[in-house]
Amino acid sequence: MARGRKSSLVVLLTATKRSEREALQRRTTISAGLARRARRVLLRADGASLADVAHRVEVAPRVVAKWIKRSRQ
């Protein structure tokens, strides 16, 4: 069941960007924060709402929105 309201923060990843983010998630030699940020973007790209992503990674929805915006740059 979807949580929260609709957001205009849509994430569309190319195959290359998706594979880069998935690789970041699997690495054991990077910071945990970087892996968490990659996971947030991937979950959003898979269609999860901001509230769902926030609930899964245990942060506030505004934190998810901030990192989605930063990943676009």
DSSP string, 29-59: SS-HHHHHHHHHHHHHHTT--HHHHHHHHTS
Residue 10 within any structural domain of the chain: no
Residue 5 within any structural domain of the chain: no
**What is the DSSP code (8-state) at residue 12?**
-
Predicted confidence at residue 5, as pLDDT, reads 57
Residue 33 within any structural domain of the chain: yes
Predicted confidence at residue 60, as pLDDT, reads 92
Mean pLDDT by 10 residues, the chain (73 residues): 59 80 82 85 86 90 86 72
Residue 7 within any structural domain of the chain: no
Residue 21 within any structural domain of the chain: yes
Overall domain count for the chain: 1
Residue 8 within any structural domain of the chain: no
The model scores a pTM over 0.85: no
What the block records as the tokens of 3 is 């949580």
